[in-house]
Amino acid sequence: MPEMNRVLIGSVELDKTKAGKPVVNLYSTDTRLQFPVLRLFDASALLTVGIDPDSLGTDAVHCRLWAYYTESDKTTSQGTPYKDVQFLERVDAPATATSTDNSALLAELRAIRGLLEVLAGTGASKVVRSIPIAPEQPPEPDATNDLDATFPRYGDGSLVSDNEAEIAAFGGYLDVEGHPPRDLTMLRTWTRARNGK
């Protein structure tokens, strides 16, 4: 498989081949270079970086983008391999095609963690903190987030929700029975029987 290379592009302009086919010249950010570093034969690839190919003229349009290319087996008359553009990528996008932008997901996870920390500091969490974790399935230690250990679990390993009535009922069950109920259904059945319903 040919090696993938990339070059930072600073401007693009519409041009034609000797046969009259439209191409897009891609110029390097190194302004000392007079000629384009790459030629793009599929102008629609510009859409992926937010440039409308139909709006291009013969005047250069300044931009910042990465052009990824491979060297062809075919060579010029001087013996230099042709450079085949594979795809274009915005500069603010991940640096490789296999990378993904996780910034939005990370921001959401941080917000969730913040909410959990607030919950852990409220009065309701005092009930939660006083309830031991189910001995049948203790949570796996997690170096990245110790909040999970704060919340109690049913015997089947599922977490008790943040519903205050459920937390109170769970605590009552533990006080009377000495161990956590198997699951939420068992807790509800036990609570109804205690209340005579």
pLDDT digits (tens, 9 = 90+) for 45-78: 999 888 888 888 778 888 999 999 999 889 888 8
Count of structural domains within the chain: 2
> What pTM, to 2 d.p., does this model score?
0.46
Residue 150 placed within a domain: yes
Nearest Cα residue to 40 out of 56, 23, 27, 55: 23
Q: What is the pLDDT of residue 31?
A: 80
Judge whether 186 lies within some domain. yes
In a domain? residue 184: yes
Query: Which of residues 90, 114, 135 is at a domain's end?
Result: 90
Q: What domain range includes position 10?
A: 5-90
As a whole number of angstroms, the distance between CA 128 and CA 149 comes to: 10
Residues 135 and 187 in one domain: yes
Nearest CA-CA partner of 149 in 164, 136, 134, 168: 134
What percentage of residues in the chain have a pLDDT greater than 70? 76
Is residue 157 domain-resident?
yes
Instruction: Give the bridge partners for 38, in sequence order.
Output: 26
Determine the pLDDT at residue 94: 54
Q: Order of strands, edge to edge, in the sheet holding 61-75?
A: 38-40, 22-28, 5-16, 61-75, 81-90
Q: CA-CA-CA-CA torsion for 78, 80, 82, 88, nearest 10 degrees?
A: -130
* 101 belongs to a structural domain: no
Residues 132-184 pLDDT 10s: 444 455 445 444 444 445 567 888 888 888 788 888 888 888 888 888 898 88
Of 73, 90, 107, the last residue of a domain is: 90
pLDDT over 90, % of the chain: 17
Given this model, what pLDDT does residue 197 score?
59
Contact 43, 53 (CB under 8 A): yes
96 in any annotated domain:
no
